[in-house]
């Protein structure tokens, strides 16, 4: 894989307050982002990549805490499907997150961390922040917006609300309205965090304690939903972890237990618990048709000149194909150009992050050059 070269990795402060769906507005919003490639003279080669729940701006550069490759390093770079030799690729950390963009761990105007005083944000608020950043970068109209999972929801919100800002929308493994089962799993994660006494009603910053145990449990529960039963069976099955027999105890006897515990613990080293609360809240609130009598088609009607591509994965039970089909039907109803593919991939919801060559081909083909 060719090395992706980060053109820019910085944090920009918005000049104007950011108006939010809740009715409040946020001053002094900072947005951390990375950009790859170069904006051309006609400023028409920009691609916005929107990250998922616990993702960040480190799209194709090593993560500063974990040292791991960027979360889409396989997809973004010179000669790769999102080709940085041709495109100017911008990936902002979402509003409410914890990797440099303003969120509950940031300082409020009184000099103390926002914590739970931070306003509850929506997916559309995240998009507002993205657009303010694009304004600063001189990008009026995107060649494309691309995202998987919560990233796909941002792309949908962008297309529905600001259709003039993009030519193409690539929505992977997403939904137009969060289903009840997903709301339920998101609620379990939040309850796990808020049940941890170290959460301290969210005011744990600077106390030397943080709700790591609760956050780890939240991550463990969520992580199961990102994988397919097939992946779990093939990767782990009932194999034991570094032992010949069951211990008749509560250690991690099984590899899948050990793996999950590691996923939970490692997550707490790179993510803020309050950000997890706010971002999952934004997801559970996501409902594209809410202001349109719950008619997704009506919400997407303004986007009828945007070119859409929808992708789902056959093993994804968290955002299954039926959710993508609803969007496709709505786009068909308003006459928007849309292509749709359900890809065969064994990895469940996480397929959009993993080695699925068919996805590479779809993305490369849809983006053109």
Catalytic residue numbers read 149, 316, 349
Contact 367, 87 (CB under 8 A): yes
Note whether 22 binds a copy of itself by CB under 8 A.
Answer: yes
Would you say 36 and 137 are in contact if contact means Cβ atoms under 8 Å apart? no
Q: Does 243 bind a copy of itself (CB under 8 A)?
A: no
> H-helix or E-strand containing 144?
strand 144-148
Query: What secondary structure letter does DSSP report for 228?
Result: -
Per-residue binder mask for a copy of itself (CB under 8 A), 55-94, x = binder: ----------------------------------------
**Binds a copy of itself (CB under 8 A): choice among 220, 311, 336, 367:** 220
**Cβ contacts of 230-238, under 8 Å, gap ≥ 24:** 230/315, 230/346, 230/348, 231/315, 231/346, 231/347, 231/348, 231/350, 232/256, 234/346, 235/259
Instruction: Give yes or no for residue 213 binding a copy of itself (CB under 8 A).
Output: yes
232 counts as binding a copy of itself under rule CB under 8 A: yes
As measured in angstroms, the least distance from the Cβ of 232 to a copy of itself is: 4
For a copy of itself (CB under 8 A), the number of binding residues is: 55
Instruction: Pick the piece of the chain touching a copy of itself (CB under 8 A) from 11-19, 127-135, 277-285, 329-337.
Output: 277-285
Task: Note whether 365 binds a copy of itself by CB under 8 A.
Answer: no
H or E segment to which residue 273 belongs: helix 273-285
Asked if residue 160 lies in contact with residue 129, where contact means CB atoms within 8 angstroms, the answer is no
Residue from 102, 132, 264, 312 in contact with a copy of itself (CB under 8 A): 264
Closer to a copy of itself at the Cβ: 3 or 251?
251
Binding a copy of itself by CB under 8 A: which of 184, 329, 337, 355? 184
**Cα–Cα distance, 264 to 226 (Å, whole number):** 13
CB of 290 to a copy of itself, least distance (A): 8
Whole-angstrom Cα distance, residue 362 to residue 339? 10
Q: Judged by CB under 8 A, which of 187, 262, 329, 337 binds a copy of itself?
A: 187
**Whole-number Å distance between alpha carbons of 35 and 27:** 24
Q: Which residues pair with 307 in a beta bridge?
A: 168
Least distance (Å) between residue 149 CB and a copy of itself: 17
The answer to whether residue 19 forms part of the interface with a copy of itself (CB under 8 A) is: no
- Site membership for a copy of itself, residue 180 (CB under 8 A): yes
């Amino acid at each position: 894989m060719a090395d992706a070269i980060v053109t820019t990795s910085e944090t920009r402060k918005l000049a104007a307050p950011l108006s939010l769906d809740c009715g409040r507005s946020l001053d002094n919003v900072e947005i951390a982002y990375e950009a790859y490639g170069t904006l051309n003279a006609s400023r028409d080669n920009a691609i916005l990549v929107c990250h998922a729940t616990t993702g960040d701006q480190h799209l194709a550069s090593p993560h500063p805490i974990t040292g791991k490759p960027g979360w889409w390093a396989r997809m973004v770079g010179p000669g790769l499907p999102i080709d940085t030799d041709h495109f100017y690729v911008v990936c902002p950390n979402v509003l409410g997150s914890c990797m440099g963009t303003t969120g509950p761990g940031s300082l409020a105007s009184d000099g103390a961390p926002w914590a739970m005083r931070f306003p509850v944000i929506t997916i559309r608020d995240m998009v507002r922040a993205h657009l303010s950043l694009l304004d600063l970068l001189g990008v009026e109209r995107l060649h494309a917006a691309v995202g998987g999972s919560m990233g796909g929801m941002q792309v949908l919100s962008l297309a529905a609300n600001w259709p003039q800002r993009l030519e193409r929308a690539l929505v992977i493994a997403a939904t137009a309205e969060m289903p009840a089962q997903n709301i339920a799993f998101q609620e379990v994660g939040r309850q796990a965090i808020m049940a941890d006494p170290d959460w301290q009603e969210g005011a744990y910053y600077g106390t030397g304690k943080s709700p790591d145990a609760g956050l780890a449990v939240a991550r463990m529960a969520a992580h199961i939903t990102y994988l397919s039963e097939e992946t779990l069976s093939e990767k782990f099955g009932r194999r034991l972890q570094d032992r010949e027999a069951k211990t008749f105890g509560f250690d991690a006897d099984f590899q899948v237990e050990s793996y999950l515990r590691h996923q939970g613990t490692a997550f707490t080293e790179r993510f803020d618990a309050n950000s997890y609360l706010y971002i999952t809240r934004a997801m559970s609130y996501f409902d594209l048709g809410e202001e349109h009598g719950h008619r997704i088609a009506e919400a997407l009607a303004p986007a009828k000149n945007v070119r859409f591509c929808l992708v789902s994965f056959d093993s994804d039970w968290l955002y299954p194909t039926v959710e993508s089909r609803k969007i496709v039907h709505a786009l068909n109803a308003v006459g928007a150009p849309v292509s749709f593919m359900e890809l065969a991939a064994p990895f469940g919801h996480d397929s959009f992050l993993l080695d699925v060559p068919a996805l590479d081909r779809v993305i490369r083909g849809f983006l053109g050059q």
